[in-house]
Amino acid sequence: MCINCLINLKYLVIILSVFIFFVNCESIPKCCPQGYAYDNLNCTESNSSLVNPFISVNSQNVIISLLECGEAGSYYLDPITNPGFDEYFILKNSSLYVEYKHRIISTKEYCIDLMVEIGQVRPLLCFDDEDIIDNATENVLQFYSTGMFLSLPFLISTFLVYLCIRELRTLHGRCLTCQVFTLFVGYGSLGVLQKATDLMDTSHGICVTLGFSVQYFFLATFFWLNVMCIDIYWAFSSLRLVGAVGGETRKLLLYSLYAWGFPLIILLITVAVDFTDFVPATSPFKPKVGINKCFFDDRTSAYMYFYGPMAILLCVNLILFGITACKIWRTKKETSYQLNRTDSRRHSEKQENERFKLYMKLFLVMGINWIAELISFILGEEVPHYLWYVTDLTNTLQGVFIFIIFVWKRRVRRLVIDRLCMFGGRKRISRSRGGTSSDATTTTTTSFNNNTAASVVRLNSVGLVK
């Protein structure tokens, strides 16, 4: 009952403020002529007393000015239906102050009249240019979503390969599996949002759910990417080998708590701020997911809950990448001194190629395209959108690149073929603990000690050995 009283009181205050300002203000833009009200882009006859008092008080201060918004379209502010977002004040110079946007709108950009649809007096405004999606932009967004859906089969293929093949279920392989899974769900959710442009109007609940899903799974992707960078950094900065399965399991558990837990904490904070009154609705830190779009409605909130953590992780990844690259270069340089000159010449070109490939893989995995995405978000409208088309497109095709980097390798292809042959009824190449390999036609015996075996496994896990 008290809530209804407050709402009615707020409504009376708004009406009274409009009445007072109409008396003392300069020319007030009325949408329709006297005796008419606004009804769905047209003016219709109306004898409602809600409009006449404002006009009869000082009619010379009223101008007839129906907005011409063109293709942009128009909307009216309704503080009763949307409290906190549609609050407005009419200033002494007849300008309109919209509290949510912290913006003053001139008399040429709005008009006020009785809205037949709701039976109340409301200001009418045109949509901003930034809210308009032209045909070219819509085609680009559809093209991006197509690229994301194209990446999905490659991501799921990478996920299944590293999940099903025992030799690839190392610590590095399991981290990659988790990272690919989060990227798969993130791309899928974002692709649906970009394809279903009317989702916010048709199903608000699904819109909000997908928005938070995009936030969580993309953040989890960056955290797992950070885990992989940390794991690679430790691999080259320590002489200790990961041999015991129990040790890898414990490390994977810690990685999982970090990579799944921190995005969950950020998500819970975002949801709490969005659905409680702890932060005012007019605050730029309010996420407002699902209000005007199925993601963050304000640049400040988007940076705080999404792009900010992304930027921190990308900076950490770049630092780890730089340190790791330097350590690899020093290790290669020290190793070359231990070889005789003939061996150095024989292996020089091969080492350079392997080093280059490893550097490129690390740099791609650590998110060069996402750095471009972050820069484009920070610069905003200062740079034309078409300059980012290439990086945005390669970003949507990241699943294809991950498949090429981690699956389309000689060693992994051999393992996949062996597994397919096993399912097809052909005899699979088997390896014993002593190092014996056999198939139907040939037998090869290789002997090595446990330390050598552990080293090979560790090098395989970081991609040095194919």
How open is the CA angle 51-54-59, to the nearest 5 degrees?
Answer: 115
Average pLDDT over residues 64-68: 71
* Top mean-pLDDT range of 83-92, 143-152, 303-312: 303-312
Q: Which is nearest to 74 in space by CA: 124, 123, 37, 29?
A: 124
Q: Give 6-44 pLDDT, tens digit per residue.
A: 445 554 545 545 445 444 555 778 888 888 888 887 888
| Cβ-based neighbours of 416, under 8 Å, separated by 6 or more | 161, 165, 407
Amino acid at site 344? S
Homologous superfamily of the 8-131 domain (CATH): Methuselah ectodomain, domain 2 (2.170.180.11)
Average pLDDT value for the chain: 73
CA distances for 42 relative to 53, 75, 120, angstroms: 22, 13, 16
Q: Give 368-423 pLDDT, tens digit per residue.
A: 777 777 777 777 666 666 667 777 777 888 888 889 888 888 888 888 888 888 77
Q: Which is nearest to 241 in space by CA: 452, 435, 406?
A: 452
Q: How far apart are CA 63 and CA 428, in angstroms?
A: 87
- Tell me the pTM: 0.65
Is 135-408 in CATH node 1.20.1070.10? Answer: yes
The two domains 8-131 and 135-408 share their CATH topology (first three levels equal): no
Q: Residue 31: its pLDDT value, please?
A: 87
- 241 or 257: which carries more pLDDT confidence? 257
Q: How far apart are CA 192 and CA 186, in angstroms?
A: 10
Q: What is the DSSP letter of 46?
A: -
List residues bridging with 43 in a β-sheet. 38
Domain ranges of the chain: 8-131, 135-408
Question: By the 8 A CB rule, do 125 and 76 touch?
Answer: yes
Q: Residue 459: its pLDDT value, please?
A: 32
User: Position of tokens 């882009």?
Assistant: 41
Amino acid at site 437? S
Q: Alpha helices of 42-134 — where are they, by DSSP H?
A: 52-57
List residues bridging with 39 in a β-sheet. 42
User: Position of tokens 């102050």?
Assistant: 97
Q: Is the pLDDT of residue 450 over 60?
A: no
Looking from the CA of 211 toward its CB, the CA atoms found within 13 Å total 25
Q: Residue 200: its pLDDT value, please?
A: 59
Q: Residue 447: its pLDDT value, please?
A: 35
- Confidence band for 56, pLDDT divided at 50, 70 and 90: very low
User: Position of tokens 């988790």?
Assistant: 178
- 429 or 423: which carries more pLDDT confidence? 423
